[in-house]
């Protein structure tokens, strides 16, 4: 496995990335998290500006890294981490647009499953529809952490959409099926984890509400987006 590293997209050598990785779409969010939470963070990847750091949290090794926007991007990075670096657990943190009427700005959404309009699963040539789901142990612990810290949250299905600016919006159809929120990456993460026999979890902060049109302010994003980081680190 170590002979395959560094990879074309990750400059770290085998052993420089921890068995547990927390990933964010924005590499600068990964940098912020590493500097805020990790003891002695070391930059282990800067290929294409996709920053990755390894350090410790409460004595446990952990890496924090960006994954970019969309299923093709997260699929590439998580495939290499799972299959070439010996990573066993990946937790995605990110923002999401709320569909559910009871969600408020700043609430956390814990993804139990991820619907998608992507064709990513076609590569597996399955005789049916695959359901990308989170690892139950990680999901259960995330719920326990939210309860202990008093964070507002909902558990359920999200939509991992390939399209941000849609020419034919169909949010109402997903809402009818009880989908809580929309983001752009979790389904591929869950599929890569399943295919490699590893664990994955995704949790989100509601940054905007698709139904009401509400948006978070810069100050709200700065103060509330750290809650998902607290939860993610509790899973390590």
Query: Which of 26, 117, 162, 208 is flagged as catalytic?
Result: 208
Q: Among this protein's residues, is 102 annotated catalytic? A: no
Task: Enter the tokens of residue 15.
Answer: 């052993």
The residue assigned the tokens 């969010």 is 29
Active site (catalytic) residues: 208
């Amino acid at each position: 496995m170590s002979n395959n590293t560094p990879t074309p997209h990750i400059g770290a050598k085998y052993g420089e990335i921890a068995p547990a990785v927390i990933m964010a779409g924005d590499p600068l969010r990964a940098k912020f998290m590493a500097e805020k939470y990790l003891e002695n963070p070391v930059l282990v990847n800067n290929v294409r500006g996709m920053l990755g750091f390894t350090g410790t949290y409460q004595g446990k090794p952990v890496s924090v890294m960006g994954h970019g926007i969309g299923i093709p991007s997260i699929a590439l990075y998580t495939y290499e981490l799972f299959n070439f670096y010996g990573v066993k657990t990946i937790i995605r943190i990110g923002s999401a647009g709320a569909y559910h009427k009871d969600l408020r700005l700043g609430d956390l959404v814990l993804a139990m499953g991820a619907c998608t309009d992507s064709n990513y699963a076609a590569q597996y040539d399955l005789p049916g529809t695959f359901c990308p789901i989170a690892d139950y142990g990680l999901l259960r612990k995330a719920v326990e952490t939210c309860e202990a810290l008093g964070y507002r949250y909902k558990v359920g299905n999200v939509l991992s959409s390939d399209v941000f600016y849609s020419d034919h919006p169909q949010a109402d159809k997903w809402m009818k099926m009880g989908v809580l929120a929309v983001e752009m990456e979790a389904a591929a993460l869950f599929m890569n984890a399943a295919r490699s026999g590893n664990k994955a979890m995704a949790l989100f902060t509601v940054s905007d509400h698709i139904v009401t049109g509400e948006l978070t302010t810069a100050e709200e994003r700065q103060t509330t987006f750290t809650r998902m980081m607290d939860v993610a680190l509790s899973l390590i």
